[in-house]
Structure 1
Amino acid sequence: MKWQYNVAYLLLFNTTLVYAETIIKPLSIEVIDNKEAPFSDASLDLESFNAIKNISVDTGDLLSEFLGVNAIKNGGFSSLPTIQGLSGDRISIRIDGMSLISSCANHMNPPLSYTSPVNINNIDVLAGLSSVSQGGDNIGGVIYIESNKLMFGKDEKPVTKGRIQSFFQSNNDSTGINLNLTAVDKDTAFKYFGSFIEANNSYAGGSFKDSGVAASGRGYLAGDEIGSSRFKNQNHQLTLAKKEGQHYYEAMFAYQDSPYQSFPNQRMDSVGNTNYQLNIRHQAEYNWGNISSQIYYEDTNHKHNFADDKQFTYINMMAQTSYGMPMEANGQTFGILAEGEIFMDDQKTLKIGAEIQLYGLDDKWESNPSDQGMMSGNDFYNINDGERDRYDIYAQLDTLWSDRWLSSIGLRYGLVQTGSSDVQGYNPNNNMGSNQLDDSVAFNNRDRSKTDNNINFSMLGKYTPNKLSSLEFGYTMKAKSPNLYQRYTWSTWTMAANMNNLYGDGNGYVGNIDLRPETVHKIGLLIDHAGSEGRWMIKIKPYYSYIDDYIDVESLATRSDGYRNLQFNNHDATIAGIDIAAKRNMFESWGYGKYNLSAKFNYQRGRNIDNSTDLYNLMPANLTMAFNQELGTWKNSFVVTMVDKKTHTDSVRQERETAAFTIADLYSSYRFYDLEIVGSVENIFNRTYDNPNGGEYLGQGATMSTGIMRASSSQVPGMGRSLNLALTYSF
């Protein structure tokens, strides 16, 4: 750890370094100042750094470069963000205003999986404290993502334009194409966006396992090949916008079809995911304030089974055959939002709002086609008629006391009601210790209706002594109710518990109807200082969180394969950490361009107080440094990422320790009239390393039940060297 503290010292006290609000690793960032409220982190103009945006297929690759944010790799295009130690649906993710929910027992279709980086116009990451107006039903932070904006024409003459892009990544032979078409006039605009991508398995920097047949009846995998990492996906989005005076109207329809996305840290794979979204928004500006309203609907159909690298056919001791394990989840989300800003005077702004979100989920596992074995007979109802309905109202007062002092105080109330209908197992008995009958009867005899009254409070302040410095501070109390998989998965049978895993750790999970909402009490400080003429900047964000009723786990049993069956339970927990970022403009030359250095540092530590254990999936101390150069339309960045060894691990989940590592990347982009060329070499030296947040390697073999031994498994490795190229033509 010595090098991290030395670096932290340099970042804190060496004025040759400089901060950019949130740092994307290879690029310079244009920060749009936001003075509306404390801790309302600056937005990023993503058009100013197309290199990473044009090459990446996973929005998590963008978010992982924000200060305080790390990515949990979860499939080829489905990363999960973690903000200051909290992840999953503890974070509120709003895409074009929609608050979306993952309809999958393994988080295979999280909200970020429905976005394409090249179609993003703006990202806000509230990695510190957030006010109540910035979202409810979260304890970990808020991420706002806005698709590319529709810009109206200057007169009645229609204007059409477009952009087509193709890209290639060598490591997994990933190829794809993106198409953007727009047609606008003075008050009407139309846009179509489409993306297509397909990728094979990716490769680590070197062998991390023995080569050979992936599983019985399956193909060959090399020692460095990361099994179950291939994917295919297409997205389409149609948007129509209309402007009438101070009113703005927008209607959007989106469709995604992913025929397969394999997961190296899950026992099953996605073998079909279709998603439909309808989103209608209205905004209006008046002299007295602003109003906005929105209504949206999302429909998801998700299918699980064993894909190409996992065993498909199983024969039990009674010579009965099972062919795969078909599973299907259907989720529907309906939401309504209404918000307003009232300018009470030159100093005070009142923000009020209301939100309704109605969510339904059916998770059914079909009886096995062979009509033999433990998984035959009836359909298995994992979650039957699950409901999670949320009703929120809030009020917030932002006050500008002087040109130096700003405060924000708000209160939000959230009513969350959940429920589930009766369930059943494959068989109405307890054969071979499955306890399907006993578990289902016990569940069905319970009162499963739950009502949570969640209170959220924010009190934030900002002091700006001069144009170069500011100090922000505050306290927030946020509450989050359990999701349906945490409350209503019911089977203690190892095979069923294994399939309910939101975390990629190889263990089996059982729900708990009596879970209470999580409530976090968080204090934070944000120090922002810049040198004269903007030559250097630095920002420091220490924070501390105390979480009442943190949803963690307790062990039910350690199994013969070395993994465990776990049940969700409430505990108290703490998370403390610091985020530091800095930037230094080095020099500028007419012949050689502009040069700068940027860096970000992140450290966090989380503890389960009741169990005296560390929290799961927290990123160890890490530092990213970039040397950036810009000459006209040619931009280059050399990036070095250093990650410390991971020794603070969750002993209940048997989380693995990982070794320290350093990787280097090179990014370059050049624009020539309407053609842009972007290239990169990621993991230049082809380093082999374990991804600290990658989870357990379950990418091959007999993954059902206890078919993989923990003693011979490993952490999912990071990707090895990849040469990437993207070509974009605008017309």
Structure 2
Amino acid sequence: MMTLHIKIVWLLSSLSVSALSFAADESVSDDEFDEQLEPITVEGEVYRHNTVKLLPEANSVMLDTATVLKKMPGAYVNQNGALSGIAQYRGLSGNRVNVNAAGTPVMTACSNAMDAPMSHVPASLVDAVVLQRGISPVSLGMETLGGSINVVPRSLNQSGNGFSGDLKLGLSSPGAGLLGAVYMQQQYLNHGFSLGVDVEQAENQEFPDGAIVFTGLEREYYSLGYQYNHDRTQVSIDVNYNDTGQTGTPSLPMDITYARGGITSVELATALNDEWQLTTQLDHQSTKHLMDNHRHRSQTMAGSRESMTRVKRDAVAVNALRTLSQQTLSWGIEWDQTHQKAEIFNPFNEAFQITNFDTERDRYSVFFEHQWQISQSHQLLTGLRWTHIQMDAADVFSSVAGMPSPMGQLHQTLQDRFNSADRSKRDHHLDLVINWQHNIRSGLHMKYGIAVKNRAPTHQERYLWLPLEATAGLADGRQYLGNLDLQSEQAIQFEWGLSVSGERFSIAPQVFYHHINDYIQGTPNETMPAPPGTLRYDNVAARLYGIDVEWSYRFSEQWTMNQVVSLVRGERRDIDDHLYRIAPLNSWLNLVYQSDNWQFETEWMAAWQQNRVSAANSESATSGYGVVNLSVDRTFGQHGRVRLAVNNLFDQLYYQHTNGYNRNNRNVDVGFDGSNLQAFRLPGQGRMLELNYFHRW
């Protein structure tokens, strides 16, 4: 077994031969065609947020937006299907990571996160994925224990008048991937209108030993926007609708039949005077999702299952911002209500029906944040947020209950126990953030951070009354029971960071430690009755720690090298075990050559072996790997671009540790064992050729 010491040496060795910094050189061009990695400074803010902005690979054909996280320090993705990438940041994933689309939290309708938040906006219509690196300020949302990620969709360009837009077309093989996307906007005086359309379709992915069944996808996405600007007032209305058809999630017990719905946002921003700005935002999300285990899998009629899930969310937020010469003060009041419901049935037997959950979650929150330029060398950000969370669940029902069988008795006992229990729960959180930045000299900054962050249990963790795999995408093949006695998670977070930048070279390492009390984890169930091997959500003690680094070196006007290296360790503090599905030591290395209208790019995606695995989840270890991707781009003036890319150039067979296990019994090339659902991990995609065309007018 490789020791932590050897792995740190590997990390430092990588740093000595390559580079990275998304905070990169200020001389980098802002060409809209190119993927740019740069810091964002929000106008009016005194404190420079340590924020990473990464434009997704807008020229790729089939790309789950979450995939770009592997190019960002500390971030990774848990991939369950073609469009089901769950964000992971410094070992925390799922509902612990606050994922927004244009600043609006995205809720999953699926009880296994098939419609993961980052998939809500297709990559072809995304302007940027913005990661708040390190401790997330309280102003960025409620329950940000695992950090904040904002998917920024295409939006209206406020400058100029007239009609403009762009078109993207692409194809990939193998897998017969097809993409068509268009974004158009019309500006006239104080009014702006926009329309976005994305259509995607693909067949099964392939790997060196065959096909990965079922990994096909179907998706259509539509967005409409309106904006009115007058003097100090701006009104914005944005509506989007995501229609995902039959799409594979082979690491989960079912596949997507469809997921339909979207988000409507209305925002009014008014500058009251030179110091004060007031913003009010109203949000509504409604998504309906159907999944099944028989359309793309071998299943008997008696064993066929479908699940209909729904999510509705309504939210109001009012924020006030006061900007002074050396200080910025912000206050906010936020409320949202989320209703989620899931029912399981057999399409060939109308008598079979189970209510999985029918829950409501209300959140009320207020925050205050102060950014202060103490001196030319010191900036301080402090924030305090209080949040009240109220949850409840309706009665549940199972048609199996009462049947003269052990299974019928199990359902009856658990149903009666749940329905007679007190299901109304309340949690109170107080989050505190202190971030201090010390500007030692030009190009040399040091950052210190400490925070207390909280997260309440999800509806699955609390209200999963029947042993099922409805686990928000854990994809470990295990059945879980909820726990009405769960306490909120509380993390005490520490971090230290350094940023060095020069004319050609820049580097930004960060070290972090999270001490988490009442971490919610599946533990061996002791509440009977329940099938053998069932896990029950419980509060345990945990810790996460590690280092992530980004750096870059510009050899000349033509040559640039970038690298990200991330290392995280997740451990139980109460027993000798590791946390589940933690990304291994991984690296992204990128070498770019630019000359006139040509760009050549070599990319190396690598991961170390991961043998620090969770015994509680029966997690399997994985070997390390390195995959090489190549691409060439040709631009035509300011309006056109063609890109040819080869992914996994050497057609290497590899297994990404955070991919789930194969659950599709038709997936014979991968392998399937019904008696051991963790016998075969899903492999990474094999060699694939992509051709893309982009045109702007």
TM band (smaller chain): over 0.9
Measure how far apart 1:487 and its partner are: 0.8
* Corresponding residue of 1:220: none
* Corresponding residue of 1:632: 596
Measured in 2, the distance between the counterparts of 1:502 and 1:611 equals 24
* Corresponding residue of 1:539: 508
Output one character per residue of 1:580-601: Cα deviation in whole Å (capped at 9) or x when no partner: 111111123xxxxx10111111
Measured in 2, the distance between the counterparts of 1:638 and 1:707 equals 38
Alignment of 1:204-219 (within 5 A): 204=207, 206-207=208-209
Measure how far apart 1:32 and its partner are: 3.6
Measure how far apart 1:176 and its partner are: 1.5
Output one character per residue of 1:588-645: Cα deviation in whole Å (capped at 9) or x when no partner: 3xxxxx1011111111111111232100111111122111111233222101122111
Answer yes or no: is the 8 Å Cα contact 1:136–1:456 preserved in 2: no
2:499 pairs with 504, 522, 528, which one? 528
Query: Is 1:337 the equivalent of 2:292?
Result: no
1:549 pairs with 510, 514, 518, which one? 518
Distance verdict in 2 for CA 1:100–1:697, change over 3 Å: same
Structure 2 SS opposite 1:260: coil
Output one character per residue of 1:284-323: Cα deviation in whole Å (capped at 9) or x when no partner: 3331132222101011111111254312324xxxxxx45x
Alignment of 1:420-569 (within 5 A): 420-429=393-402, 431-434=404-407, 435-492=410-467, 497-500=468-471, 502-531=473-502, 534-556=503-525, 564-569=533-538
Query: Is 1:75 the equivalent of 2:44?
Result: no
Query: Is 1:250 the equivalent of 2:236?
Result: yes
- The amino acid across from 2:368 in the alignment is A
Measured in 2, the distance between the counterparts of 1:41 and 1:528 equals 10
Structure 1 SS opposite 2:466: coil
Measure how far apart 1:143 and its partner are: 0.7
Answer yes or no: is the 8 Å Cα contact 2:291–2:306 preserved in 1: yes
* Corresponding residue of 1:681: 646
Distance verdict in 2 for CA 1:552–1:636, change over 3 Å: same
1:21 pairs with 16, 20, 23, which one? 23
Measure how far apart 1:51 and its partner are: 4.8
* Corresponding residue of 2:248: 262
Measure how far apart 1:713 and its partner are: 2.6
Output one character per residue of 1:138-163: Cα deviation in whole Å (capped at 9) or x when no partner: 21000112222312354xxx511222
Output one character per residue of 1:188-218: Cα deviation in whole Å (capped at 9) or x when no partner: 11110000111111111x22xxxxxxxxxxx
TM-score after normalising by structure 2:
0.92
Measured in 2, the distance between the counterparts of 1:275 and 1:711 equals 32
Distance verdict in 2 for CA 1:346–1:416, change over 3 Å: same
Measured in 1, the distance between the counterparts of 2:561 and 2:159 equals 39
Distance verdict in 2 for CA 1:388–1:712, change over 3 Å: closer
Measured in 1, the distance between the counterparts of 2:370 and 2:249 equals 45
Answer yes or no: is the 8 Å Cα contact 2:662–2:680 preserved in 1: yes
Measured in 2, the distance between the counterparts of 1:389 and 1:702 equals 41
Output one character per residue of 1:632-661: Cα deviation in whole Å (capped at 9) or x when no partner: 332221011221111000111111100111
* Corresponding residue of 1:171: 174
Output one character per residue of 1:682-726: Cα deviation in whole Å (capped at 9) or x when no partner: 1100000112100111122599xx981217831111111111111
Structure 2 SS opposite 1:377: strand
Measure how far apart 1:542 and its partner are: 0.4
Measure how far apart 1:340 and its partner are: 1.6
Measure how far apart 1:27 and its partner are: 4.9
Measured in 2, the distance between the counterparts of 1:65 and 1:687 equals 20
- The amino acid across from 1:456 in the alignment is D
* Corresponding residue of 1:618: 582
Measure how far apart 1:530 and its partner are: 1.5
Return 280-289 or 458-467, whichever deviates more. Answer: 280-289
* Corresponding residue of 1:161: 164
Query: Is 1:41 the equivalent of 2:50?
Result: yes
Structure 1 SS opposite 2:281: strand
- The amino acid across from 1:614 in the alignment is H
1:397 pairs with 350, 367, 370, which one? 370
TM-score after normalising by structure 1:
0.88
Measured in 1, the distance between the counterparts of 2:480 and 2:17 equals 49
Answer yes or no: is the 8 Å Cα contact 1:85–1:619 preserved in 2: yes
Measured in 1, the distance between the counterparts of 2:690 and 2:23 equals 27
Measured in 2, the distance between the counterparts of 1:571 and 1:542 equals 24
Structure 1 SS opposite 2:63: coil
Measured in 2, the distance between the counterparts of 1:189 and 1:508 equals 50
Measure how far apart 1:29 and its partner are: 2.5
Measure how far apart 1:81 and its partner are: 1.1
- The amino acid across from 2:598 in the alignment is W
Measured in 1, the distance between the counterparts of 2:46 and 2:92 equals 23
Return 543-552 or 664-673, whichever deviates more. Answer: 664-673
Answer yes or no: is the 8 Å Cα contact 1:501–1:508 preserved in 2: no
Measured in 2, the distance between the counterparts of 1:151 and 1:117 equals 19
Measure how far apart 1:564 and its partner are: 3.4
- The amino acid across from 1:403 in the alignment is Q
Measured in 1, the distance between the counterparts of 2:261 and 2:131 equals 25
Structure 2 SS opposite 1:61: helix
Measured in 2, the distance between the counterparts of 1:668 and 1:446 equals 62
* Corresponding residue of 2:631: 667
- The amino acid across from 1:242 in the alignment is Y
2:606 pairs with 629, 639, 642, which one? 642
* Corresponding residue of 2:119: 113
Distance verdict in 2 for CA 1:15–1:637, change over 3 Å: closer
- The amino acid across from 1:407 in the alignment is L
Output one character per residue of 1:248-276: Cα deviation in whole Å (capped at 9) or x when no partner: 11101111111211111011111111113
* Corresponding residue of 1:600: 564
Answer yes or no: is the 8 Å Cα contact 1:337–1:353 preserved in 2: yes
Measure how far apart 1:348 and its partner are: 2.1
Output one character per residue of 1:534-566: Cα deviation in whole Å (capped at 9) or x when no partner: 210111100000111100011239xxxx99321
Answer yes or no: is the 8 Å Cα contact 1:577–1:605 preserved in 2: yes
Answer yes or no: is the 8 Å Cα contact 1:62–1:117 preserved in 2: no
Measured in 1, the distance between the counterparts of 2:338 and 2:54 equals 33
Measured in 2, the distance between the counterparts of 1:70 and 1:443 equals 37
Structure 1 SS opposite 2:11: helix
Alignment of 1:361-372 (within 5 A): 361-366=340-345, 368-371=346-349
Output one character per residue of 1:331-353: Cα deviation in whole Å (capped at 9) or x when no partner: 1000111112112x422221110
Measured in 1, the distance between the counterparts of 2:470 and 2:86 equals 19
Structure 1 SS opposite 2:413: helix
Distance verdict in 2 for CA 1:289–1:280, change over 3 Å: same
Answer yes or no: is the 8 Å Cα contact 2:22–2:53 preserved in 1: no
For structure 2, the residue ranges without an aligned partner over 5 or more in a row are 29-33
Measure how far apart 1:325 and its partner are: 0.9
- The amino acid across from 1:357 in the alignment is D
Answer yes or no: is the 8 Å Cα contact 1:96–1:147 preserved in 2: yes
Measured in 2, the distance between the counterparts of 1:508 and 1:38 equals 46
Measured in 2, the distance between the counterparts of 1:611 and 1:686 equals 41
Answer yes or no: is the 8 Å Cα contact 2:109–2:289 preserved in 1: yes
Measure how far apart 1:425 and its partner are: 0.9
* Corresponding residue of 1:127: 133
Output one character per residue of 1:91-111: Cα deviation in whole Å (capped at 9) or x when no partner: 111111211211211111121
* Corresponding residue of 1:579: 548
* Corresponding residue of 1:58: 64
What is the identity percentage for the equivalent residue pairs of Structure 1 and Structure 2?
Answer: 19
Distance verdict in 2 for CA 1:715–1:702, change over 3 Å: closer
Task: Give RMSD over aligned pairs.
Answer: 2.5
Structure 2 SS opposite 1:710: coil
- The amino acid across from 2:106 in the alignment is L
Query: Is 1:274 the equivalent of 2:239?
Result: no
